[in-house]
């Protein structure tokens, strides 16, 4: 199986090829090719001008790498160029061991934005949240830097301290001091919560399917009377496609898991499950939120479409694209990460921009419910100005009141979304689960109309 990377960070792919054309095709394509050659000549002229006239000496290699990266990042948020060091860092990360802080990040208009902290890493323990902006590292601004350059600033020797300046909505910028660690990401863990097992998958690396299998089997051996399973994919930023397929396959007896479709309508790859459900058909609920992205959405979408599990939480991130990583000269010149396809759930839906909609929408806090109502919380694929378009005719949910939020008497130390997932297991389905009163969040358009009503029209001078 080809390896595809499905994480919401900077990406890129470069290829070279040739095709024989008959004379009529050659004539038809002569003008576009002439324009391309002219623009390449323009690039050479600009590079030459910069080399000779810029105020200080420049590094040609860095200029050309930046130009390549700029070309690719203009396509969509997930395409880009990885220089040799960044390519090695990416390989280390997918293997599950690297030095750093434990953050999945992307770039939005020249600003580094957090997709998700990885469980049990310095970033997660420090309380960094999805949607946070990183504006400086050790007091030095990273505004305008590429994701790769910003990540280089954050990585370093284990044991060294690093200070990140964080910008968060409705909060003044603040500094967070962290200590770098060797990040050995164990992506799957399991525990019991009352009568129910909880399988937590934090990302999809090279060992995730094996780790999830081992974690569940160990838990089941110790708790043979487990009544159901919650698969927790909240704030899971994604990872490798083959691992998303492998995890989905653990819970399905057969049939399609996901398909990916490229530029050519005939270019379709389908991934199917093999017989054998690791749980033996145990009732399941999948927990998601707005930080559930990419490979994690494949799993949630497959289990939802195949009626294997019901989904509880918040609409997911909405990254429905596939990036292919292509090494250049065996990695000596780095690699390209290029968006090459969209993926589709078994029912044929693309979730690009729109995300996976839960069967029972549950906000974790009242504040989160209000944020969804006024869109302040809506950090998603749709928030990127150059994201791939959604499936024709589809849009992400507009501001609205979430179906549920913690009632006043709920213990704030407990996990409300997890509690509601376990309620669904207890009652057998979302439909049978008693519903709670809607939160009192005010919708953005209502708040807007209220503000307009309070503003007096300007005086008119005759």
Query: What is the H or E stretch that residue 35 is in?
Result: helix 23-53
Annotated active-site residue in 79, 294, 316, 380: 294
69 is catalytic: no
Q: Would you state the pLDDT for residue 96?
A: 61
294 is catalytic: yes
Whole-angstrom distance, CA of residue 385 vs CA of residue 77: 9
E runs forming strands in 97-187? 97-100, 103-108, 111-117, 133-137, 140-141, 161-168, 171-179, 181-184
For CATH 2.30.42.10, list the domain ranges present in the chain.
97-183
Q: Is the dihedral of CA 393, 397, 398, 403 positive or negative?
A: positive
Q: Would you state the pLDDT for residue 443?
A: 60
Q: Would you state the pLDDT for residue 31?
A: 72
Q: Would you state the pLDDT for residue 227?
A: 97
Q: Would you state the pLDDT for residue 392?
A: 74
For tokens 């030459």, the residue is 48
Q: Tell me how crowded residue 397 is: count the other CB atoms within 10 A of its CB.
A: 15
Annotated active-site residue in 305, 337, 359, 364: 305
Residue 302 token pair: 């497959």
Q: Tell me how crowded residue 262 is: count the other CB atoms within 10 A of its CB.
A: 15
The SS3 assignment for 14 reads coil
Question: What one-character DSSP code corresponds to residue 96?
Answer: T
Annotated active-site residue in 319, 337, 353, 366: 319
113 is catalytic: no
Question: What one-character DSSP code corresponds to residue 214?
Answer: H
Helices (H) and strands (E) in the chain, counts: 11, 21
Whole-angstrom distance, CA of residue 210 vs CA of residue 7: 20
* 415-435 burial: b if 16+ Cβ within 10 Å, else e: bbbbebbbbbbeeeebeebee
Whole-angstrom distance, CA of residue 396 vs CA of residue 378: 10
Q: Would you state the pLDDT for residue 403?
A: 83
The SS3 assignment for 193 reads strand
Q: Would you state the pLDDT for residue 389?
A: 86
Q: Would you state the pLDDT for residue 372?
A: 83
For CATH 3.90.226.10, list the domain ranges present in the chain.
186-325+341-444
Q: What is the CATH number of domain 186-325+341-444?
A: 3.90.226.10
Q: Which of these, 402, 401, 404, 437, lies nearest to 419 by C-alpha position?
A: 404
Contacts of 122 (CB under 8 A, 6+ apart): 101, 102, 178, 179, 180, 181
Helices in 287-351 by DSSP H: which ranges?
295-305
Query: What count of Cα atoms within 13 Å lies in the side-chain half-sphere of residue 461?
Result: 0
CA triple 302-232-278, angle to 5 deg: 60
Give yes or no for a contact between 389 and 331, defined as CB atoms under 8 angstroms apart.
no
Tens digit of each residue's pLDDT, the chain (462 residues): 444 554 333 332 222 233 333 344 444 556 778 889 999 999 999 999 999 999 999 999 999 999 999 999 999 999 999 999 888 878 877 776 667 898 888 877 788 999 888 888 899 999 999 889 999 999 999 998 878 788 888 888 888 999 999 999 888 999 999 999 987 778 999 999 999 999 999 999 899 999 999 999 999 999 999 999 999 999 998 989 999 999 999 999 999 999 999 988 888 999 999 999 999 999 999 999 999 999 999 999 999 999 999 999 999 999 999 889 989 999 999 999 999 999 999 999 999 999 999 999 999 998 888 888 877 556 788 888 888 988 777 888 888 888 899 998 899 889 999 999 999 999 999 999 999 987 765 665 444 444 444 433 334 333
Q: Tell me how crowded residue 27 is: count the other CB atoms within 10 A of its CB.
A: 10
CA triple 422-424-430, angle to 5 deg: 155
Burial level of 447, CB count in 10 A (0-12/13-18/19+)? middle
Q: Would you state the pLDDT for residue 7?
A: 39
Contacts of 421 (CB under 8 A, 6+ apart): 230, 285, 287, 312, 313
Between 1.50.10.150, 3.90.700.10, 2.40.50.1070, 2.30.42.10, what CATH number should domain 97-183 receive? 2.30.42.10
Whole-angstrom distance, CA of residue 55 vs CA of residue 57: 7
């Amino acid at each position: 199986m080809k390896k595809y990377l499905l994480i919401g960070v900077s990406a890129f792919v470069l290829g070279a090829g040739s095709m024989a054309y008959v004379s009529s095709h050659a004539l038809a394509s002569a003008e576009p090719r002439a324009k391309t050659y002219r623009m390449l000549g323009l690039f050479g002229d600009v590079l030459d001008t910069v080399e000779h006239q810029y105020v200080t000496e420049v590094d040609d290699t860095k200029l050309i790498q930046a130009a390549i990266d700029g070309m690719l990042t203009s396509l969509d948020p997930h395409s880009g160029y990885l220089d040799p060091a960044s390519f090695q860092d990416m390989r280390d990360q997918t293997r599950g061991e690297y030095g750093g802080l434990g953050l999945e990040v992307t770039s939005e208009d020249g600003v580094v934005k957090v997709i998700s902290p990885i469980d049990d890493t310095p970033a997660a323990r420090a309380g960094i949240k999805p949607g946070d902006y990183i504006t400086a590292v050790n007091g030095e601004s990273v505004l305008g830097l590429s994701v790769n350059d910003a990540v280089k600033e954050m990585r370093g020797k284990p044991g060294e301290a690093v200070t990140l300046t964080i910008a968060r909505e409705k909060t003044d910028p603040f500094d967070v001091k962290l200590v770098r660690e060797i990040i050995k990401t164990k992506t799957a863990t399991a525990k019991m919560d009352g009568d129910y097992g909880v399988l937590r998958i934090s990302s999809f690396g090279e060992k995730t399917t094996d780790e999830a299998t081992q974690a569940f089997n160990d838990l089941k051996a110790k708790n043979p009377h487990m009544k159901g399973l919650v698969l927790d994919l909240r704030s899971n930023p994604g990872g490798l496609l083959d691992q998303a397929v492998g995890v989905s396959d653990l819970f399905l007896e057969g049939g399609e898991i996901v398909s990916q479709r490229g530029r050519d309508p005939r270019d379709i790859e389908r991934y199917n499950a093999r017989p054998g459900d690791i749980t033996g058909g145990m009732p399941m609920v999948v927990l998601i939120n707005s930080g559930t992205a990419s490979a994690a959405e494949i799993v949630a979408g497959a289990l939802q479409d195949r009626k294997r599990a019901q989904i509880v939480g918040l609409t997911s991130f909405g990254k429905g694209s596939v990036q292919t990583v292509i090494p250049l000269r065996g990695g000596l010149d780095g690699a390209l990460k290029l968006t090459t396809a969209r993926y589709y759930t078994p029912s044929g839906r693309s979730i690009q921009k729109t995300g996976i909609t839960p069967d029972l929408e549950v906000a974790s806090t009242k504040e989160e419910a209000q944020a969804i109502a006024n869109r302040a919380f809506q950090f998603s694929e749709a928030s990127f100005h150059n994201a791939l378009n959604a499936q024709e005719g589809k849009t992400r949910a507009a501001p609205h009141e979430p179906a549920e939020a913690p009632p006043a008497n709920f213990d704030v130390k407990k996990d409300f979304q997890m509690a509601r997932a376990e309620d669904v297991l207890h009652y057998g389905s979302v439909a049978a689960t008693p519903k709670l009163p809607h939160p009192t969040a005010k919708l953005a358009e209502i708040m807007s109309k209220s503000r307009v009503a309070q503003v007096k029209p300007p005086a008119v001078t005759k």
